[in-house]
Each structure stands twice: as C-alpha cells, then as structure tokens.
C-alpha cells in the first residue's frame, strides 16, 4: 500500500461554483494509478457527493465531518442524530423562523423558505472565498440535488445547517442544545453565515483513525488536504498535512505545507510536490 490521502471537498477539491479543476482530477487519478489511496474527508453527507466527484475515482469517503465512513462502497461507521433530537432541532428552528436544511445520506432536505432566503447567503459565502460568482447562482446551483417540500421529521439525519440571521441565533442554539455540537461556518464568530447542529465527540480526525484501523494502514503513510478549521483534527491525526492557498490563517498555521489556491491548481501542485503523481 502506498500513501493514504484524505481530501476535503469544498474549497479544496472543488473551487468556484463547485467545479473541480481538471488538474485535480488528473492528479488524483495519477496517484491512484501508482497505488496510493484517496479518500474524501468532508463535511458533506453522502448525498452531496455527486456523480462527477465519484467519477474521478476514489477509494471511499469520510462524510458529515466524521459521522460516516465507507471504504469501497462498504459502510464501516455511521452515527446520526436521534429521531428525538432531530425533531427538537426542527421544531426550534421553525419556532425561531430560521431556514435550514437536513443533511442525510439519502438526500438534502430543505426547509420551506430555504431556497428563497438562501440564495443571497450562498452567494455571499462564495464572495468571501474570493470566488467569481454569477449573480444568478443560487441554492439549486450550489445544491443541485436538494429536495424541496419533503417531510422534515426524518430518521438518520447526520447534521442540520441553518442560516444565521444574527450571531445570537448561534449563541441561543448552544444554550438550547447543550447535548449537541453546535458550530458555525461561512465566517468567523459574528461574521458566520450558517450554524450547524451535529453529534458531539465526532470529528474528521477520529474517523480517519477508524478508517486506518479498518484498512490496516499506518498513520505514518497518511496525508491530509484541507482549507478550514474543521480540517485541523484531520491534520493532527495524519503524518503530513497540506493547507490550500485559500485556507484561513489558523488552518495554514496548523499545516506542514501550504499549496496554491484551489482555482489555481493548488491540489495538483501539492500532489506533485509530495511525489504522489510520479
């Protein structure tokens, strides 16, 4: 077995408007042809790993920030919100008038006005990543297989993302759900655009170790690629870590190497630098 690579998706594998640079596809295929393994390690749930991503050729997935693990289509770990917690979260978000979507392996399920409210928010998220964005880019472009109008009381929901109308929404969610992990994304502290509700004691690093144990790989052969603070637990477990040029300062500081921007062939540059493609 060669190296075992763990690659984040958003702003690491995918860049502007969720597109994968051709150089990244080629680098991953070249690495796997040489006997290295490449797994996604992402906050996305399995339903958000669309066919154009799988078509690259991958060995498996760590999804939901560690809540789901699979190797060659075999599920080896999955932990989701309890039905009771999921319903309590949905009721709280409805009562507060916050739009949200449920992230499950069988789909993304939007609240009643998520598309209407979310378009401007997702465009702001892209702008903050310094990505050129079409002003018509909206929720259906960002989440092409999102499901609208479905029952929002669901089983096996990995986590819930919700639009923050203010930072107070996040603070109140922390107070309302002390038994869950309440986070934010799309900005730091009061600049955050989204909150999320997920299981505690789950992160990318823990599930990287679960996968290594399952496939019988050594930690010394691991490399992590990411762009955000949520990737740091993965960096800490892996022997070597790479931050994208578009990463935040804290993630860059935690990495062993900083490569180029995702839209400037940064992932391929890192694969080449580490000798994974030749």
Question: Is residue 20 over pLDDT 80?
Answer: yes
Rg (CA), the chain: 18
Q: Are 137 and 17 in contact (CB under 8 A)?
A: yes
- What pLDDT was estimated at residue 186? 87
Averaged over 82-88, what is the pLDDT?
Answer: 98
Beta bridge mates, 159: 103, 198
**First-to-final CA distance of the chain:** 15
Domain boundaries, the chain: 4-78+202-273, 83-114+145-198
| Per-residue model confidence as pLDDT tens digits over 32-55 | 999 999 999 999 999 999 999 999
83-114+145-198: CATH topology is 3.30.1240
List CB contacts of 149: < 8 A, sequence separation 6 or more: none
From CA 25, how far away is CA 257, in angstroms rounded? 21
Rounded percentage of the chain residues whose pLDDT exceeds 90: 91
List CB contacts of 275: < 8 A, sequence separation 6 or more: none
From CA 112, how far away is CA 152, in angstroms rounded? 9
On average, the pLDDT of the chain sits at 95
- What pLDDT was estimated at residue 74? 97
- What pLDDT was estimated at residue 126? 82
Averaged over 236-262, what is the pLDDT?
Answer: 97
Q: pTM of this prediction?
A: 0.91
- What pLDDT was estimated at residue 131? 65
| 87 membership: H or E segment, kind and range | helix 83-96
How far is CA 114 from each of CA 64, 137, 146, 169, rounded to the nearest angstrom?
A: 20, 14, 11, 16
What is the CATH superfamily name and number for domain 4-78+202-273?
HAD superfamily/HAD-like (3.40.50.1000)
Q: Which of 63-77, 129-143, 163-177, 232-246 has the lowest mean pLDDT?
A: 129-143
3-state secondary structure of 119: helix
- What pLDDT was estimated at residue 129? 72
Averaged over 242-266, what is the pLDDT?
Answer: 96
Question: Is residue 130 over pLDDT 80?
Answer: no
pLDDT tier for residue 1 given thresholds of 50, 70 and 90? confident
Q: Helices 167-176 and 83-96, interaxial angle, to 10°?
A: 140
Q: What does the buried/exposed string (b/e) look like for 241-262 if buried means 16 or more CB atoms within 10 Å of the residue's CB?
A: bbbbbbbeeebeebbeebbebb
pLDDT tier for residue 17 given thresholds of 50, 70 and 90? confident
């Amino acid at each position: 077995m060669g190296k075992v690579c763990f690659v984040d998706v958003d702003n690491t594998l995918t860049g502007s408007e969720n597109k994968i640079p051709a150089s990244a596809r080629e680098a991953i295929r070249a690495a796997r042809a040489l006997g290295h393994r490449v797994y996604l390690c992402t906050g996305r749930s399995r339903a958000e790993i669309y066919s154009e991503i799988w078509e690259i050729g991958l060995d498996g997935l760590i999804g939901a920030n560690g809540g789901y693990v699979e190797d060659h289509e075999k599920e080896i770990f999955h932990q989701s919100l309890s039905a009771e917690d999921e319903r309590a979260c949905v009721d709280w978000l409805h009562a507060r008038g916050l739009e949200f979507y449920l992230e499950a392996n069988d789909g993304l399920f939007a609240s009643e006005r998520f598309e209407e409210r979310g378009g401007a928010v997702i465009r702001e998220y892209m702008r903050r990543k310094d990505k050129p964005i079409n002003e018509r880019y909206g929720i259906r472009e960002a989440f092409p297989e999102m499901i609208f109008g479905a029952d929002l009381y669901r089983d096996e929901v990995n986590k819930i993302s919700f639009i923050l109308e203010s930072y107070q929404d996040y603070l109140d969610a922390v107070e309302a759900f002390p038994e869950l992990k309440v986070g934010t994304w799309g900005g730091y502290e009061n600049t955050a655009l989204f909150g999320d509700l997920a299981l505690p004691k789950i992160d990318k690093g823990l599930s990287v170790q679960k996968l290594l144990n399952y496939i019988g790989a050594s930690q010394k052969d691991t490399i992590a690629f990411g762009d955000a603070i949520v990737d740091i637990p993965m960096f800490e477990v892996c022997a070597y870590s790479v931050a994208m040029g578009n990463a935040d300062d804290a993630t860059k500081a935690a990495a062993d190497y900083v490569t180029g921007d995702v839209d400037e062939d940064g992932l391929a540059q890192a694969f080449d630098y580490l000798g994974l493609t030749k």
